[in-house]
Amino acid sequence: MKTTILTYCQDAIEAHRIHDVLGEQGIMSILQDENISSIIPCPAFEIPILVYEEDLEKAKEILRDLFPEKMVDEDSINYI
């Protein structure tokens, strides 16, 4: 199964909150590069939250309802 980026978080606490809520709704998510952002806390090392492509729409709904400030679209992601 293929994964895609749902959103980015600035720290592990925020990332785990979203990860836990998604899990409660039956959506598996992956916190990528979580340890790096803890060691080097700067915007370049934000934590991407990945979900399976088939869960993306449901995950976006949850994010929109509970964490609207974390909504991103493809045009706003400017990471290398």
Average confidence score pLDDT of the chain: 83
As a whole number of angstroms, the distance between CA 45 and CA 56 comes to 23
Of the pLDDT bands very low, low, confident and very high (cuts 50, 70, 90), residue 76 is very low
Look up the CATH architecture of domain 3-76.
2-Layer Sandwich (3.30)
pTM: 0.79
Q: What is the pLDDT of residues 3-35, one digit of tens each?
A: 999 999 888 889 999 999 999 999 999 998 766
Q: What is the DSSP string of 16-28?
A: HHHHHHHHHTT--
Report residue 34 as tokens.
């979580």
Q: What percent of the chain has pLDDT over 70?
A: 76
Rounded Cα gap, residues 35 and 14, in angstroms: 14
pLDDT of residue 42: 64
- Check the CA dihedral 8-32-17-25 and report its sign: positive
Could you report the per-residue pLDDT of 39-63, keeping only the tens digit for each? 666 666 788 999 999 999 999 999 9
